[in-house]
Structure 1
């Protein structure tokens, strides 16, 4: 019985760690801009010219591809957090806004990120 519990705990831990690692690696994909004009951006409630910090480069949602919008949806990003204590602006993955912009960025997602937003990959800031 004891061995079965250990096995299940290790299996669940490994599966969770592998899934989270895959998501993080997916965010480290190719950062080259597409050669063709990106697809028309669906309405997300954000202005199309809101800047986002992506590393040291600034992009806006008009430069996002349909794949970028799909990734945001698949990762569960929402502009208004359902949990008051877990907001994008207090997440370890959040990139602070540049200049006078009210939108920041994210290490997992492309495009403008609302400081009051949320996704299931929220992680507390260290220190």
Structure 2
């Protein structure tokens, strides 16, 4: 009796695991090729250009590829931090702007990074 119960539990767990695994693969796209993305990035994916003030430069994202924009989006980068203390300018990964440029860089992302920006990979600078 105990062996039969153990056998039926094993069958049930195997079937359940197979069904959920198949559903997970199906939702991820399985073996189907991904749909082709347009070559030009959507305007919503581009960082917002700040109004030009004396001594500052407009964001130049012309050298960025669609892959760069996709990476920014997948890492959750935003131009304006939702947390006052966690901004790119006080992140250990932030690269300060050169010369008269307003926007710096990042060790994780390509392209201009707003000092007021944020992503979930924010790390406090070590003193």
Q: Offset at 1:62?
A: 0.5
Is the Cα–Cα contact under 8 Å of residues 91 and 123 in structure 1 kept in the other structure? yes
1:25 paired residue number: none
Is the Cα–Cα contact under 8 Å of residues 41 and 64 in structure 1 kept in the other structure? no
| 5+ long unaligned stretches in structure 1 | 1-38, 51-59
1:7 paired residue number: none
1:24 paired residue number: none
Q: Which string of whole-angstrom CA distances, capped at 9 and with x for unpartnered residues, describes residues 61-111 of structure 1?
A: 101110000000000000000000000000000000011010000000001
Distance 1:74 1:108 in 2: 12
1:90 aligns with 2:70: no
TM-score (normalizing by structure 1): 0.58
1:65 aligns with 2:68: no
Higher strand share: 1
Distance 1:115 1:85 in 2: 12
Higher relative contact order (CA closer than 8 Å, sequence separation 6+): 1
1:101 paired residue number: 101
1:31 paired residue number: none
Is the Cα–Cα contact under 8 Å of residues 41 and 61 in structure 1 kept in the other structure? no
| 5+ long unaligned stretches in structure 2 | 1-38, 51-57
Is the Cα–Cα contact under 8 Å of residues 41 and 62 in structure 1 kept in the other structure? no
The number of aligned residues is 79
Is the Cα–Cα contact under 8 Å of residues 88 and 117 in structure 1 kept in the other structure? yes
Is the Cα–Cα contact under 8 Å of residues 93 and 106 in structure 1 kept in the other structure? yes
TM-score (normalizing by structure 2): 0.58
Compute the RMSD of aligned alpha carbons.
1.5
